[in-house]
Structure 1
Amino acid sequence: MTFSFLTIIIVSATVFYIYFIHINQQKSTPKTKMSNGESPFFNLPTAIAKLQEELKNNPLDPNSFARADQAKVEHLDLNLTIDFDNHILHGNVVLSARKISPNVQYLLLDTVDLTIFGVYQLNDNIQQTIPFKLYPPVPEFGSKLEIDISGFDLEKFQIRIDYRTNSTSRALMWMKPEQTHDKRHPFMYSQCQAINARSLLPCQDTPSVKATYSAEIQAPKELQVLMSAMITNDPKLIDDDRRVHYFNQKVPIASYLIAIAAGDLVSKKIGRISHVWAEPGTIESAAWEFAEIDKLMDAAEHFAGEYVWGVYDVLVLPPSFPYGGMENPCLTFATPTLLSGDRSLVYVIAHEISHSWTGNLVTNANFEHFWLNE
């Protein structure tokens, strides 16, 4: 292959020009830095090792990045949409928090596989973007979310975090219609114990922190949403396909007790403050099985004192539910295998009721002492 002399001149000039521009850019452009001063090409194993050491040295809970001795979340307000097609929840959570240490610089939260779209300070209906950093994930424990609150003047403050969960969230279980009893609609439920709430929402995921919460949850109109909280209003139709459901939990709870379920559910009253929830095909057998629930409540209050949670409902989950029961406040999750037809397994409900005092009301400070719950 041959080239003309003119072609050689043009190519040579072009190469020289590109080299000249490259050299000048290197001289004039500063090195990019991470928000903590590290190069973007930092050593990942070393960074994770430092985070593991930080967990180990947390004086409150070695399973959490949260430092409630510096800044503490006191209320969470969830605004989420359930997306059954993509197996995610998306929306935002507003955290009402308080500085414990007046000079605290960061609010530290736990996350696992959450996509954070933005963090904002809310002040007198004014929204202001604030800096945050999501650290590399530590195996089993997730990523530290560090929110800069150094510029906040007031002791109490509100932060909104826009986010979505991951389709593989370890807190959320998604069932196809064929995995349910009636096989008509999909079903979703959560299991946050012990440290899975951090894959449901960014939070201080340690039982040493208790907070109240409220929620507005959008879901397909044919489904009923339930949470570990009081239902405050009837569901409201917001368009042709969706309803919004309203909840409030007025008693401070640990993050692992935040629970949600959505499916083809109906209810039947079984006690003074109790309903049973189940799929239409099992509601009658569930109502009969737990019809004497007031006797269990009376016995529990006799030994433990006043029941403070307002309602005590039981949700019978689809057959694919792999646990015996879960003591979510206001709403025990129960396996359908309890529906024996002779009330011989109702003792499991008695066990879950007792958690309304031991565990839900009086809680171990961290999961090194989980035996106190049981």
Structure 2
Amino acid sequence: MRAQRVPVDYRPRSARLSSLSAVTGLNVMSDPCSFSSFTRCVTKHLNLHLHLDFDRHVIRGRVALTVEALEDRFSTLTLDSSDLSVVSVTANGQPVTLPSSLSVLMVTYETSPSATALQWLTPEQTAGKKHPYLFSQCQAHHCRSMIPCQDTPSIKHTYYAQVSVPKDLVAVMSAVRDGQEVDPQDSGRIIYRFRQTVPMPSYLIAIVAGALESREIGPRTRVWSEKEFVDKAAFEFSETEAMLKTAEELAGPYVWGQYDVLVLPPSFPYGGMENPCLTFATPTVLVIAHEISHSWTGNLVTNKTWEHFWLNEGHTVYLERMIGRCLESEQFRQFKAIGGWKDLQDSVNTFGANNPLTNLVPSLQDVSPDDAFSSVPYEKGFALLYYLEEQLGGPEVFMGFVKSYIQRFAYSSVTTEEWKNYLFAYFKDKVRNNWTLRQSYSDWREGTSAWQVLVRGQIVTRKDKYLQSDQAETPDVIDRWVQREVFNFEKFRDEALRVFLAHRAGMHPVTSGLVSKDLKVDVSNAASQ
């Protein structure tokens, strides 16, 4: 979830204008968060050679990009880059030109120690206290600080990687493992190889290196962690295969082959990250159903730009809660929906009710996706789907649409308009007779009061149904849970703030930004406190 005018880079303007272009020319931008003109040229495959330098906190890299021109006389290829030191660029082994419709561009480069995609941990920051650790977090637009690429979710490509690490460490990536060997250039290092044959966007490229061990927890699933936690992690995630099978019954075949879970150190900035073949997680099984669901909604069918992020997250929350419905009960799903509505209210109150970032499809022109991150695309997106489910036939009927939507747009990236057109075509008879659905599309996108009243009415109705069910808690427990009184966070805020300010300088910038948002700390003033 991240090149001037790419609004993601917080360096001075002279440093920000570092897109990497083969032959100077005009670049027509189609994504406000990327320099890439994906309507003119697309990346089909990446071949990566990465050397991890833990002493200097940099990656020395070489990437061969297979690119396809989509128009005649194409002469300009622009790649997103951030803080990369580029050593050389060649095309088809020659000085930079693009002689044919399908070309291979080779870029040799080095990352910066401050690359926003990379978090380097000292041995003292790990559980074992003996070896360093590295993990990446490329969503939304940070892959450009690790690899020069077309860093937009509109582009999907396969990749192959060879990663050299010290022999005491193990490397894993968001791809299927393809063997290992001693580095022929340095006997003290090991090269790990990986292949990803399913096309995916750049933000899903992920790498981890550390003193890792793994345990098999299913026929296609392993859990990875430092040895101090690996057995506990294997126990914690032992139900992963059951969740995978349930998701397949709902959404269709799992196409990624392996589904591994990697338990990261506490400095990882999210509860989980849906990297294909290797979900990043913190040690709680609650997040796995969500990340499993992303294997279909997000990874297989992807938002075309980050302005349409709700297509990833709203559908994923919907599928996650359908998995909960299958494994637990309908009441469980309704209970989760009640809490999600409160999360949405909290985000709207934080941004301000009239803030355009509370729109379902916000404009990100000159806005960083990191700044726009909130529960809005998750819970407003889910609330819309929840409302449509009620209008169009119930959970089983609407889940049929979701599965059909996944099959129709698999391996591609879509916009909200494309989603809407498919929805209306799928339910053409019901839409024809439903004035609200036909007339309120702008309300859905902008979250106007009329739409919110309709959706809130559905949530309240579901809450009433839940309270009347045999599986419900008492109304008092529900109300306290929804109001978050159970957690009584304010009671601990002073201590949380003290720890955050003491350690903020050593935190990954994405982690720092998210925590400061939760604590309502002005980051620009935090350093002086």
- Pairwise TM-score range, normalised by the shorter structure: 0.7 to 0.9
The residue number in structure 2 matching 1:211 is 157
Q: Does 1:348 align with 2:287?
A: yes
The residue number in structure 1 matching 2:45 is 75
The residue number in structure 2 matching 1:372 is 311
The residue number in structure 2 matching 1:357 is 296
Identity %: 49
TM-score, with structure 1 as normaliser: 0.75
Confirm or deny: 8 A CA contact 1:179 1:319 kept in the other structure: no
Q: Does 1:129 align with 2:95?
A: yes
Q: Does 1:91 align with 2:53?
A: no
Confirm or deny: 8 A CA contact 1:265 1:279 kept in the other structure: yes
Q: 2:253 is matched with which residue: 306, 311, 329?
A: 306
Residue 77 of structure 1: how far off its partner (Å): 0.4
Confirm or deny: 8 A CA contact 1:60 1:208 kept in the other structure: no
Alignment-mate amino acid for residue 303 of structure 2: N
Q: Does 1:221 align with 2:167?
A: yes
Structure 2 CA distance for aligned equivalents of residues 65 and 301 of structure 1:
36
Confirm or deny: 8 A CA contact 2:57 2:113 kept in the other structure: yes
Summarize deviations over 1:350-372 as a string: whole Å, max 9, x none.
Answer: 11000000000000000011111
Structure 1 CA distance for aligned equivalents of residues 125 and 207 of structure 2:
18
Structure 2 CA distance for aligned equivalents of residues 97 and 237 of structure 1:
29
The residue number in structure 1 matching 2:127 is 181
Structure 2 CA distance for aligned equivalents of residues 191 and 115 of structure 1:
20
Structure 1 CA distance for aligned equivalents of residues 206 and 113 of structure 2:
17
Quick check: which one's strand share is greater? Answer: 1
Structure 2 CA distance for aligned equivalents of residues 45 and 241 of structure 1:
41
Q: Does 1:105 align with 2:75?
A: yes
Confirm or deny: 8 A CA contact 1:181 1:319 kept in the other structure: no
Structure 1 CA distance for aligned equivalents of residues 74 and 28 of structure 2:
16
Confirm or deny: 8 A CA contact 1:88 1:164 kept in the other structure: yes
The residue number in structure 2 matching 1:272 is 219
The residue number in structure 1 matching 2:34 is 64
Summarize deviations over 1:90-139 as a string: whole Å, max 9, x none.
Answer: 021000011111111101110000011110122xxxx2122xxxxxxxxx
The residue number in structure 1 matching 2:192 is 245
Alignment-mate amino acid for residue 152 of structure 2: T
Residue 254 of structure 1: how far off its partner (Å): 0.5
Summarize deviations over 1:128-158 as a string: whole Å, max 9, x none.
Answer: 122xxxxxxxxxxxxxxxxx52xx1x21111
Alignment-mate amino acid for residue 236 of structure 1: V
Gap runs ≥5 in structure 1: 1-43, 52-56, 131-147, 339-345
Confirm or deny: 8 A CA contact 1:171 1:191 kept in the other structure: yes
Confirm or deny: 8 A CA contact 2:16 2:82 kept in the other structure: no
In 2 relative to 1, CA 47–191 (structure 1 residues): closer, same or farther, beyond 3 Å? closer
Confirm or deny: 8 A CA contact 1:325 1:332 kept in the other structure: yes
Q: 2:180 is matched with which residue: 219, 234, 245?
A: 234
RMSD: 1.9
In 2 relative to 1, CA 300–235 (structure 1 residues): closer, same or farther, beyond 3 Å? farther
Confirm or deny: 8 A CA contact 1:180 1:320 kept in the other structure: no
In 2 relative to 1, CA 180–308 (structure 1 residues): closer, same or farther, beyond 3 Å? same
Residue 322 of structure 1: how far off its partner (Å): 2.7
Gap runs ≥5 in structure 2: 1-11, 20-26, 314-529
Does 98-107 or 352-361 show the bigger shift? 98-107
Quick check: which one's helix share is greater? Answer: 2
The residue number in structure 2 matching 1:288 is 235
Residue 319 of structure 1: how far off its partner (Å): 2.5
Total equivalences in the alignment: 293
Summarize deviations over 1:260-312 as a string: whole Å, max 9, x none.
Answer: 00000010000110000010111110011111211101110010000000100
SS in structure 2 opposite 1:111? coil
The residue number in structure 2 matching 1:342 is none
Confirm or deny: 8 A CA contact 1:175 1:187 kept in the other structure: yes
Structure 2 CA distance for aligned equivalents of residues 94 and 220 of structure 1:
24
Structure 1 CA distance for aligned equivalents of residues 146 and 113 of structure 2:
11
Residue 46 of structure 1: how far off its partner (Å): 10
Structure 2 CA distance for aligned equivalents of residues 313 and 45 of structure 1:
40
SS in structure 2 opposite 1:370? helix
Summarize deviations over 1:169-194 as a string: whole Å, max 9, x none.
Answer: 00000001111111111000000000
Structure 1 CA distance for aligned equivalents of residues 126 and 156 of structure 2:
33
Alignment-mate amino acid for residue 166 of structure 1: S
SS in structure 2 opposite 1:195? coil
